[in-house]
Amino acid sequence: FSSMYGKVLICDPVDNVMTDKLKDKFEIDYKPKISPQELLEVIKDYDVVVVRSRTKITKDVISNGKKLKIIARAGIGVDNIDTDYAEEKHIKVVYAPGSSTESVVEITLAMMVIGARSLYKGMENTRKNDFTKLKGMELEGKTLGILGFGRIGKAIVDASRTFKMKFIAYDPMPVEYPEYVKKVSLDELLEQSDVISINVTMRKDSPYILNDNELSKLKEGVIIVNTSRARAINGKDMLKYLKNGKISAFVSDVFWNEPAKEDYELEMLKLDNVMITPHLGAQTKEAQKRIAIMTADNIINEW
Ligand code: NAD
């Protein structure tokens, strides 16, 4: 009788509502701290594997997953999954598009203001009872360039209209632009933006979008906020522009390695104009619940 049930392995922490929704149809093993080695060994027993961003579903994991039918990403961005190999093996990949938009928009707006007003430095200083005033820049009247005009990029524009900024956006796909957002080329976005918000989707093997050539076109003193994927930018190339101040602030929720391990990353983390959060974009009760519900529904629909 139990063979009627599919077996699900959950590899990262997810909201309880996911197991509640799946438990009638599936036998569930919850191992939110599973190591890559253990995953390679046990994956052969499972029909469905659920991951967030920590666990990587590599080609080797997929090859060992002889019974695997569904790979579920509880979140957005499947760049930790070898989707090409999964497709070759006829394994479905599901995720939860749109489920954390509100949370990511809110953190992005905070990051824009942090970058413009040295809030982080000011808070660090007052901890040491140093009340020195730091001068910043108003966002009103400045140009916000959105790189990647998808769900989150669009919602960031809508939420930041209250700042009375000018909006420009670049996206290589045929997406729709409201009348208050000017569609521009990548070069125009780099040359005109006072603040750039990066909101692109990346695949596992996507090339960097911003290398030295692109970064050299940035406006002097630009603020760059990234709540999408670190790989949108070539970090080694970026370091030079952070050190010489062409980029006045880099506020990012994502990093090339989380935690950092390359020399350029460790050097970057020490700079005053670099402010990094540990991938908190979707880390709210509300988003985690929506993600768990949507991911579970998608698993059930595909089963
Ligand atoms: P989406 O698919 O709706 O939009 C992404 C857009 O990026 C698309 O319109 C696509 O055409 C565009 N794009 C792709 N390559 C591009 C390029 N080279 N130049 C410019 N645009 C490009 O996705 P979304 O829901 O808006 O999510 C955006 C990003 O946010 C994703 O990378 C996702 O992983 C990330 N995200 C991060 C967190 C977090 O915790 N920080 C949470 C949720 C989502």
Structure ipTM: 0.99
203: pLDDT strictly greater than 90? no
**Chain segment 75-124, per-residue pLDDT in tens:** 999 999 999 999 999 999 999 999 999 999 999 999 999 999 999 999 99
The Cα-based distances of 106 to 110, 152, 155, 195, 235 in angstroms read 6, 10, 10, 16, 25
Residue having the nearest C-alpha atom to atom 18 of ligand 1? 209
Give the distance, in angstroms, between the CA of residue 294 and the centroid of all CA atoms in the same chain. Answer: 18
Decide whether any atom of ligand 1 lies within 6 Å of the 118 Cβ: no
Rounded mean pLDDT, 176-201: 98
Rounded mean pLDDT, 4-27: 94
167: pLDDT strictly greater than 60? yes
Decide whether any atom of ligand 1 lies within 6 Å of the 210 Cβ: no
Residue 49's beta-bridge partner residues?
A: 9, 71
1: pLDDT strictly greater than 80? no
Decide whether any atom of ligand 1 lies within 6 Å of the 83 Cβ: no
Decide whether any atom of ligand 1 lies within 6 Å of the 173 Cβ: yes
Contact (CB, 8 A) for 197 and 145 = yes
CA 228 – ligand 1 centroid, Å: 6
Work out the number of other CB atoms within 10 angstroms of the CB of residue 185.
11
Strand ranges inside the chain, DSSP E = 6-10, 26-30, 48-51, 70-73, 92-94, 143-147, 166-170, 181-183, 195-198, 222-226, 247-252, 274-276
The Cα-based distances of 168 to 18, 146, 165, 176 in angstroms read 38, 6, 10, 13
Percent of the chain with pLDDT over 70: 99
**Helix segments in 65-118, DSSP class H:** 83-88, 101-117
Calpha distance 123→238 (Å, rounded): 26
Select from 76, 154, 198 the residue to mutate for testing ligand 1; criterion: most ligand atoms less than 8 Å from CB: 76
Contact (CB, 8 A) for 269 and 250 = no
Q: Is the pTM above the cut of 0.90?
A: yes
**Chain segment 139-157, per-residue pLDDT in tens:** 999 999 999 999 999 999 9
Let me know the angle formed at the C-alpha of 77 by 290 and 145, rounded to the nearest 5 degrees. 100
CA 230 – ligand 1 centroid, Å: 11
**Chain segment 216-269, per-residue pLDDT in tens:** 999 999 999 999 999 999 999 999 999 999 999 999 999 999 999 999 999 999
Query: 3 falls in which pLDDT band (50, 70, 90)?
Result: low
Work out the number of other CB atoms within 10 angstroms of the CB of residue 172.
11
Residue 73's beta-bridge partner residues?
A: 51
